[in-house]
């Protein structure tokens, strides 16, 4: 009796599915086949734990195990790069009715995915902040800033920065019910989420789209009239996130 890999996989992911005929294990019962079932479930569940430590902490290990068990069957990895597993988890969480009262979970999952992307992003060399200081204000405003591949920006209606810190860092303050935007920078090897002032995420996204500092500033002001460009730029410079500065001709 031939056992196809389709049959094997179906029984592997569904514990209620009968084990395919044609396998011998020197014993009756499911114990031998269950080793493979268990290996798949446990290894993918562990991958979810390490990808989403804050979600795991918020939900508790047991609840996370249960969710991961459902998730890994609906969304098995699409590549052997486990460093990217879980991309569909935010949407999955958003679709879980029983978690609707924890509306911030999907954005926290997005933050954890972004931290991991930043960790594995290409290396880059930051510019010397003095290069900016040497430019005349008009020339600076007309310049385009290149950002490191490790930079990630997230906008949220929830206090994602506070929730992330409260569950990652000892003695961090309790989250307050406010909307928070976050930028992740990676000065060397460790991604660091930083809270952005209002309008900061709009400004950085405009920069990422290739707009000049001035054009991006206009966009940020449109979002928040008192946008603090200096404070936002300082966050990027401190995080080693600015890797190029190109002056555009002032027409």
**201: its two tokens:** 């995420």
Q: Using CA atoms in the order 159, 162, 165, 166, what is the torsion angle rounded to 10 degrees?
A: -110
Among 14, 17, 23, 179, binds another protein (CB under 8 A): 23
Stretch near another protein under the rule CB under 8 A, chosen from 27-35, 94-102, 128-136, 160-168? 27-35
Region near another protein per CB under 8 A, out of 75-83, 86-94, 102-110, 164-172: 75-83
Asked if 30 is part of the footprint of another protein (rule: CB under 8 A), the reply reads yes
How many Cα atoms occupy the beta-carbon half-sphere of 176 within 13 Å? Answer: 3
Name the residue nearer to another protein (CB basis): 150 or 215. Answer: 150
In the complex with another protein, which residue's Cβ is closer, 49 or 155? 49
In the list 53, 102, 119, 195, the residue contacting another protein (rule: CB under 8 A) is 119
Verify binding: residue 141, another protein, rule CB under 8 A.
Answer: no
- 2 lies in the site for another protein, by CB under 8 A: yes
H or E element at residue 184: strand 181-185
Q: Which residue, 81 or 169, has its beta carbon nearer to another protein?
A: 81
Burial class (CB in 10 A: 0-12, 13-18, 19+), 96: middle
- Name the one range near another protein by CB under 8 A: 89-97, 100-108, 115-123, 198-206: 115-123
By CB under 8 A, tell whether 36 contacts another protein: yes
**81 near another protein, rule: CB under 8 A:** yes
Instruction: Work out whether strand 242-247 and strand 143-147 pair parallel, antiparallel, or are unpaired.
Output: antiparallel
Count of residues in the chain: 251
Q: Is residue 14 at the binding interface for another protein, with CB under 8 A as the rule?
A: no
How many Å apart are CA 239 and CA 66, to the nearest integer? 37
β-partners of residue 246 are: 144
Dihedral, CA atoms, 50, 52, 54, 58, nearest 10 degrees?
-110
Q: Are 163 and 193 in contact (CB under 8 A)?
A: no
How many residues at the interface with another protein, by CB under 8 A? 46
- Does residue 185 bind another protein (CB under 8 A)? no
Residue 6 touching another protein (CB under 8 A)? yes
- The answer to whether the CB of 73 falls within 8 A of the CB of 13 is yes
Q: Tell me which of 18, 60, 66, 76 binds another protein, using CB under 8 A.
A: 76
Residue 83 or 250: the one with the smaller Cβ distance to another protein is 83
Measured between alpha carbons, how far apart are the two ends of the chain, in Å? 78
**Which is closer to another protein, CB of 116 or CB of 213?**
116
Q: Phi/psi zone of residue 67: left (φ > 0), alpha (ψ -120 to 50 degrees), beta? A: alpha
User: Contact positions toward another protein, by CB under 8 A?
Assistant: 1-6, 8-9, 12, 22-33, 35-36, 39-40, 43-44, 47, 76-83, 119-123, 149-150, 186, 189-190
């Amino acid at each position: 009796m031939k056992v196809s890999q389709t049959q094997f996989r179906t029984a592997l992911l569904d514990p209620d599915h009968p084990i395919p005929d044609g396998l011998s294990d020197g014993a009756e019962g499911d114990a031998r086949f269950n080793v493979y079932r268990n290996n798949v479930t446990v290894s993918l569940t562990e991958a979810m734990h390490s990808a989403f430590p804050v979600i795991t902490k918020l939900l508790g290990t047991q609840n996370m195990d249960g969710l991961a068990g459902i998730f890994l069957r609906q969304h098995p990895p699409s590549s052997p790069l486990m460093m990217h597993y879980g991309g569909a988890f935010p949407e999955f969480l958003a679709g879980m009715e029983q978690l609707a009262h924890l509306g911030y979970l999907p954005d926290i999952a997005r933050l954890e995915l972004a931290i991991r992307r930043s960790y594995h992003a290409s290396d880059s060399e930051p510019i010397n902040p003095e290069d900016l200081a040497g430019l005349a204000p008009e020339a600076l405003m007309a310049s385009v800033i290149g950002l490191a591949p490790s930079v990630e920006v997230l906008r949220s209606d929830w206090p994602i920065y506070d929730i992330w810190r409260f569950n990652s860092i000892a003695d961090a303050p309790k989250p307050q019910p406010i909307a928070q935007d976050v930028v992740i920078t990676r000065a060397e090897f460790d991604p660091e989420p930083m809270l952005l002032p209002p309008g900061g995420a709009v400004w950085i996204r405009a920069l990422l789209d290739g707009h000049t500092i001035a054009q991006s500033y206009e966009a940020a002001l449109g979002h928040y009239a008192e946008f603090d460009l200096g404070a936002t730029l300082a966050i990027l410079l401190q995080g080693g996130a600015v890797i190029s500065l190109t002056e555009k001709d002032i027409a």
